[in-house]
Amino acid sequence: MSDKKRIMLIDNEEGLCRMMEAVLADSGYAVKGYTRSFEAVEEFKAGDWDLVVSDIKMPGMDGLEVLQRIKAKDPLVPVIMITAYATVETSIQALRRGAYDMVTKPFEPEELLYRVKNALKHTQLLEENRELREELVGKFRFDNIIGASTGLKDVLDKVEKIAIRDTSVLITGESGTGKELIAQAIHYNSLRKEKKFVAINCGALPESLLESELFGYRKGAFTGAKENRQGLLEAADGGTLFLDEAGNLPMNVQKTLLRFLQEQEFLRIGDTTPTKVDVRIISATNAELKEAVKSGAFREDLYYRLNVLNLHLPPLRERRADIPLLAAHFITLQNKKFGTAIKGLAPDALEAVMEFSWPGNIRQLKNVIEACTAMENGDYLSLAVLSQFIEISHHVPGEEGDTAGDVDESDYSQALSRFEVDYLKGLLRKNRGNVEAAARDAGMNMATIYRKLKKYNIRREDYA
C-alpha cells in the first residue's frame, strides 16, 4: 500500500480541477479530482482519504453541503474550502461546519501547496497525540500491572474504584513498591486522562527550589527571577499532580498547598493575585505521616486533606507469588531492548529470588534482572550470575543447623505445585487466556504451558 497522502479534489471547473490535481501530484500526493459534487460525496468513505479540497460555489450540491456530508462520514478528515467570494458570513458558516482552512481564488500553486501541507501536518499531530494517549492509557490499564498475589489484587480493586472519584489520594508503602505506577494508573483511568500527569519528588529538591517549582514565581520576586515562571501545579491544570515523598514538604509549602486544597487557588512567589487551577492531588510517602503529625513536622489539617482516600502497597516480600511474574516481565523488556534471547531464570536462581527478602522491592528486582541479563552468557539467568548482585542463602546437607533431613520431601513438591498454579494463573490472567502470549512472557515453550495447564486442570477459557 502506498504511503502517499490521499487527497480528494472537488471543483466543477474542470480546468482548475485538473491544474490542482497536477500541482499536488507533482508534489508526491495521491490525488483524484471530481467535477460533480454528488459523485464525490457518494464515493467518499471514512479512512480512504487524508484531505479533501472542495470549491464552495458549485451547481447541485454546493461546497457547504459537501462539507457537512463528508464530516458526517468522517469527522476527523480535514477539509479546505475554495471560494471566489470570501465573505465573512461564508467563512463563518464553513468553519462552523468543520472546515480546516479557506483559500480565496485566484491563488498561486505555492499557496495551495502551503495550505495542504499545513492541514496534513495538523492532522498528523492530532493522530500522534491520539496514539500517544491510547498508548499511555493502555500502558496503565489495571490488567497491565504485573502480579497475581492477593495483596496486589486488593490494591487494584481499590484503584479501580478510586480512579473515577475525583478526590485526593495518599499512597503509602516502602520505597520501590511502585507508588508512582499506581498513581499513573489512577490518573489514566480517571476522567482527567486526556490532561497532564505531572510528578515531582518532594525529597529530591531543597526547600527554596521546591516552593518555586510547585507554585512558580513572578518576575523580580527574588534575585535571579528574570521572568514570570509557571509552576508544576499550574502546568497540571485539568490533570493530576503527583507529590512523591510528600512527607518531606517543608512547612511553608504545606501552608500554600493546604490553601490550594481548600480553595483551588494559590499565590505564585511574589504575586498578589491568586492563580486558580483545577488539579487532582495524589501524594505518596514511605514514611509514617501520622508520627510526623504527632511530632509537629507535618500539619494535621493537610494530612487529612491529602489522605481522603488511602492506598497501602505491600512490600515485595509479602507478595512473593508476584516475583516470578515480575522477573519474567523484566527479562522480556531487556530482551526487547537489547535483542537478547534470555529464556528465564534457571531453577536454582528462581528459588533464590523467591527466598530473597528484596529490601529495595520491585525497583531492586528490576535493577538486579537488568544487571544479570547484561552479564549472562547462557540461555537462562544462572545462580552464579545472580549471586553477584544479591546475597544467596547456602545450605549444605549434614552441616550444623541444617534441617533438610527434618523436612518431608512432599512439602517442597507441594510448595512448587502451588507456585506453578499461581504462576500459570497469573500469566493467563495477564494475557487474557492467550497461551502463546503467556509462553512468550514466561520464556517457555507453548507445549510446556499446555502440559502444565492439563496437569493442574487449569482452563485457559476461564481467563479469556
**Per-residue pLDDT reduced to its tens digit, 95-122:** 788 888 888 888 888 989 999 998 888 8
Instruction: Give the distance from CA 358 to its chain's centroid.
Output: 27
For 139, other C-beta atoms within 10 Å of its C-beta total 13
299 pLDDT tier (thresholds 50, 70, 90):
very high
Ranking 110-119, 215-224, 288-297, 350-359 by mean pLDDT, the lowest is 215-224
C-alpha cell at 79: 477539509
Measure the CA angle with vertex 133, ends 130 and 139; round to 5°: 140
Amino acid at site 159:
V
Cα 194 to Cα 197: distance, rounded to the nearest angstrom: 9
Give the CA dihedral 103, 105, 108, 113, nearest 10 degrees. 30
Query: What would the mean pLDDT of 255-260 be, rounded to a whole number?
Result: 92
User: Is residue 78 over pLDDT 80?
Assistant: yes
Q: What is the pLDDT of residues 426-446, one digit of tens each?
A: 888 888 888 888 877 776 667
| Crossing angle of the two packed helices 63-73 and 88-96, in degrees rounded to 10 | 20
Between the alpha carbon of residue 183 and those of residues 110, 152, 170, 260, the distances in Å are 49, 14, 9, 20
Residue 398 has pLDDT above 70, yes or no: no
pLDDT of residue 416: 67
pLDDT one-digit tens code per residue, 79-99: 999 887 756 677 778 878 888
Determine the pLDDT at residue 86: 59
Distance CA 168, CA 309 (A): 6
List the domain boundaries for the chain.
6-134, 140-314, 318-396+407-463
Q: What is the pLDDT of residue 128?
A: 64
Q: What is the β-pairing status of strands 240-244 and 197-201?
A: parallel
**The pLDDT of residue 311:** 93
In this structure, are residues 238 and 278 in contact, taking their beta carbons and an 8 Å threshold?
yes
Task: Report yes or no: 381 and 369 within 8 Å, Cβ to Cβ.
Answer: yes
Looking at domain 6-134, its CATH architecture is 3-Layer(aba) Sandwich (3.40)
Give the model confidence (pLDDT) of 46-56 as tens digits.
889 999 999 98
Element (H, E) at 439: helix 435-442
Predicted local confidence at residue 438, as pLDDT? 82
Sequence letter at residue 341 = A
The structural architecture, per CATH, of the domain 140-314 is 3-Layer(aba) Sandwich (3.40)
Q: Give the pLDDT of residue 397.
A: 37
Answer whether CATH 3.40.367.20 is correct for domain 318-396+407-463: no
Note whether 140-314 and 318-396+407-463 share their fold.
no
Average pLDDT over residues 238-265: 92
For residue 141, pLDDT over 70 is answered with no
Between 268 and 296, the higher pLDDT residue: 296
pLDDT at 366: 92
- What average pLDDT score do residues 370-393 get? 90
- Closest to 366 measured CA to CA, from 385, 378, 353: 353
Residue 395's pLDDT band (cuts 50, 70, 90): very low
Whole-angstrom Cα distance, residue 364 to residue 366?
Answer: 5
User: What are the distances in angstroms from CA 375 to CA 141, 379, 397, 436?
Assistant: 33, 12, 30, 28
- pLDDT tens, 211-237? 888 988 877 767 677 787 888 999 999
Query: What's the average model confidence in pLDDT over 147-152?
Result: 80
